[in-house]
Structure 1
Amino acid sequence: MREEPADLPICLTCGTQYRGRRTDCPVCSDERQYVRPGGQRWTDLGELRAQGHAGRFEEEGPRVLGVGCRPAVAIGQRALILRTESGNVLWDCVPYLDDDMVGRIKQIGGLSAIAVSHPHFYGAMVEWAHAFDAPVHLHAADKAWVGRPDPSLRFWDGETYRLSEELTLINGAVHFPGSSVLHWDAGDGALFTGDTIHVCPDSRWVTVMYSYPNHIPERPQAVRNAANVLGRYRFERVYGAWWGRVVTRDGNAVLSRSMARYLRFETGADGGGG
């Protein structure tokens, strides 16, 4: 593992790593996130390692390995390693990494690329990029949220970007302007969404929000546009942001009826009242 400074600050609320000490976390100051009542709090990789955090690996689907840490840090998301024909790709990121995790991932072939859905999951992405000599693909519309600029970060724009013959990044533009999902065109197809499209506890449904912690709904037109864009792709499975949040069948139908339900309630088209 490349030698990295272990004291770069990590926001304890959202998990974003920054290149230097600061008093605020812009990601948490934004209305989509929050600052804890006790004020801004920080940690770093050295402290997390000393506290006994360790990697967590679990299979989440066919050729999809979940990776995170225990105890969980910040919002507790897990990332996913897609074992594709052209190499392993990390989808989304987490705020933690250690030598044992790097060694285990290198045993299965390392990482050829990293792609992140939106700023809440930037985590320690530069740390991961350096450990595996892998580029990180981010949508340019969210460039302002990067806390640790680095040459490993590759910005794309527009509606789609092809990572490989099998993998396409798609800008759905819900939750953040650059929010993206990843489509894997292999087998029955799969869609990786983070929480830009959130897999519900009842995995027959997904949903969207502008802010989850502050319960701010997404704009109906943004939801319509995302549903139209993603409806062009075929996928059986949908992978959300947290352990076990996976739609295992009928992914296209789940997305279609979920977006229709959201719009029905948000626009009042069901005839109900608030």
Structure 2
Amino acid sequence: MSTTAFICATCGTQHAPSATPPGACAICEDPRQWVPAAGQQWTTMEALQRRHAIGWRDVAPGMLGLGVFPDFAIGQRALLVRTPQGNVLWDCVALLDPATVTLLKALGGLKAIAVSHPHFYTSMIEWAHAFDCPVLLHEADRAWVMRPDPAIRFWSGETHDVLPGVTLHRIGGHFAGGTILHRAEGKGAILTGDIASVAPDRRHVSFMWSFPNWVPLPAADVARIGAALEALDFDAIYGGWWDRVMATGGKAAVRRSVDRYIRAVTGPAPLAP
């Protein structure tokens, strides 16, 4: 009997191969996410390849963005971090098509894939198999892997060096293993997904246990996250969506944002003059 690695149409998570679609998506049933009113829907990689394509954009020197067009599931984009020692894919998207494989191999392939948190795991195993590279995940989020595979390398502790100048930092919050990537080149940058989510005003970041269900984090957690980010050297912040980029002033923005957040959830100081 043939099997298919079905993909959740709501969150984009690819599940372990099975003869029929899974009965539920544990990622969506978790209170940080949601199940549509019409019920869980499933698709396949082949169906995605017929209806969608991967689009690319320059994001910064040595960094390209790639995302699914038209949007699928959560709609995030991934980032290709290019270094003299090789390329790292930060976060992941559900679609992988032959054109993307050809293009990425021409750019040198991938040394590793690193993912910030389970909502962006998507089709990470498909990508790892195509480029014969490991997927780096924090062990605290091991239970959220819906498609186990030998390509996954769980790391522990608070930091993990990927390549020279490219380091993963576990800061938690949204998920216990919530991870950001620090790029040391130039004035430094952090790639945050929505672990520290760049706000639409592109002057602040924010922190939530659940973004779609509007559940904030405790002030103590945000203070701890702020201290972890304060210890890093960075100027730019790259969030998980095309328009969520702070090209400069990121360190000061994090300080402002942490202070504002803590005042908002603890009071009594007003947020505005």
TM-score range, shorter chain: over 0.9
Residues 6, 46 of structure 1: 8 Å contact kept: no
Quote the residue 2:252 is aligned against.
253
Counterpart Cα distance in 2 of 1:180 and 1:267: 26
- Residues 12-64 of structure 1, C-alpha deviation per residue, up to 9 Å, x if partnerless? 000000013311000000010000000111111011122x3111101111211
Quote the residue 2:116 is aligned against.
117
- The one-letter code of the counterpart of 1:194 is G
- Residues 200-249 of structure 1, C-alpha deviation per residue, up to 9 Å, x if partnerless? 11111111111010000011111111111111111011000001211111
Quote the residue 2:219 is aligned against.
220
Aligned residue for 1:210, secondary structure, equals strand
Quote the residue 2:130 is aligned against.
131
Query: Where do 1:158-237 residues align within 5 Å?
Result: 158-237=157-236
TM-score calculated relative to the size of structure 2: 0.95
Aligned residue for 1:254, secondary structure, equals helix
- Residues 152-178 of structure 1, C-alpha deviation per residue, up to 9 Å, x if partnerless? 000011111111220111011110000
What is the identity percentage for the equivalent residue pairs of Structure 1 and Structure 2?
48
Counterpart Cα distance in 2 of 1:180 and 1:82: 16
After TM superposition, the runs of 4+ consecutive aligned structure 1 residues lying more than 4 A away are none
Query: Where do 1:1-274 residues align within 5 Å?
Result: 7-19=4-16, 20=18, 21-50=21-50, 52-270=51-269
Counterpart Cα distance in 2 of 1:195 and 1:268: 25
Counterpart Cα distance in 1 of 2:33 and 2:256: 28
Aligned residue for 1:154, secondary structure, equals strand
What is the deviation of 1:72?
Answer: 1.4
What residue ranges of structure 1 are gaps of 5+ in the alignment? none
- The one-letter code of the counterpart of 2:25 is C
Aligned residue for 1:16, secondary structure, equals coil
Change (3 A) 1:6 1:239: farther
Residues 60, 244 of structure 1: 8 Å contact kept: no
Counterpart Cα distance in 2 of 1:107 and 1:165: 22
Counterpart Cα distance in 2 of 1:43 and 1:225: 39
- The one-letter code of the counterpart of 2:7 is I
Counterpart Cα distance in 2 of 1:245 and 1:208: 14
What residue ranges of structure 2 are gaps of 5+ in the alignment? none
User: Which moves more between the two structures, 159-168 or 123-132?
Assistant: 159-168
Counterpart Cα distance in 2 of 1:230 and 1:269: 25
Residues 181, 192 of structure 1: 8 Å contact kept: yes
What is the deviation of 1:117?
Answer: 0.2
- Residues 111-154 of structure 1, C-alpha deviation per residue, up to 9 Å, x if partnerless? 11110000000000000001111100000000000010001000
- Residues 57-111 of structure 1, C-alpha deviation per residue, up to 9 Å, x if partnerless? 0111121100111111100000000011211100000010010111111111111
Counterpart Cα distance in 1 of 2:147 and 2:67: 20
Paired residues, number = 267
Counterpart Cα distance in 2 of 1:188 and 1:85: 18
Counterpart Cα distance in 2 of 1:241 and 1:248: 14
